[in-house]
A and B are shown apart, each in its own frame.
Chain A
Amino acid sequence: MSSIESPLDLIRLSISERVYVKLRSNRELRGVLHAYDQHLNMVLGQVEETVTSKEVDEETDEEIVKKSKREVDMLFVRGDVVILVSPPLKST
């Protein structure tokens, strides 16, 4: 981490690596980082998107966490929906 002077350098070091991206409205992406800019606009390749939603079971009154996944070849992501970016190898 010694070479990092700005938080964005962390992302620069992840170019062409798989990254984990947490977005607003309970969305997560895993994909190869091909491009980004200072707004965190990004282009990701071989993307898997996970959308997490919570529903309440009417009979048991229990909260059910639903995860729906889809795959996209290549995706431009608008930076303003980004919350977090992490190189995923070390993440769970």
Chain B
Amino acid sequence: MSELTKEEPPAAPAAPPPTSVTPSTYLKSILGRPILVRLHTGVTYRGILACLDGYMNIAMEQTEEYGVGGELESRYGDVFLRGNNVAFISGDTKAK
């Protein structure tokens, strides 16, 4: 192991060190952007991420609710989602 490291010294980054992406920095980076939220139930919400907190409670705007089969169920203006129901949050790349 030590020989290996001697032969190949850690490559010094030529460019400024890559800023590491953590869950928290990722979530900050999608604030105000279109997102997709999936709940444990399989229900999906698409809308604009207004803000969120450490429990993954989420405030969204212009929200569309899709059922488990992917069909549009309803639309809301503002929505609060209780964090314990959230499976994942993702940037919505397919948003118009």
A and B directly contacting (CB within 8 A)? yes
B81 at the interface (CB under 8 A from A): yes
How far apart sit A80 and B76, CA to CA, in the bound complex (Å)? 22
Judge whether B79 and A85 touch: CB under 8 Å: yes
Instruction: Given A82-B82, A83-B85, verify A7-B39 contact (CB < 8 Å).
Output: no
A residues 53-81 touching B (CB-CB < 8 Å): 79-80
Closest residue of A by beta carbon distance from B82? A82
A contact set with B: CB distance below 8 Å: 1, 4-11, 20, 40, 79-80, 82-87, 89-92
Q: Please, which residues of chain A bring their CB within 8 A of the CB of B41?
A: 83
Q: Please, which residues of chain A bring their CB within 8 A of the CB of B77?
A: 86-87, 89-91
Judge whether A10 and B59 touch: CB under 8 Å: yes
Judge whether B79 and A86 touch: CB under 8 Å: yes
Judge whether B79 and A84 touch: CB under 8 Å: yes
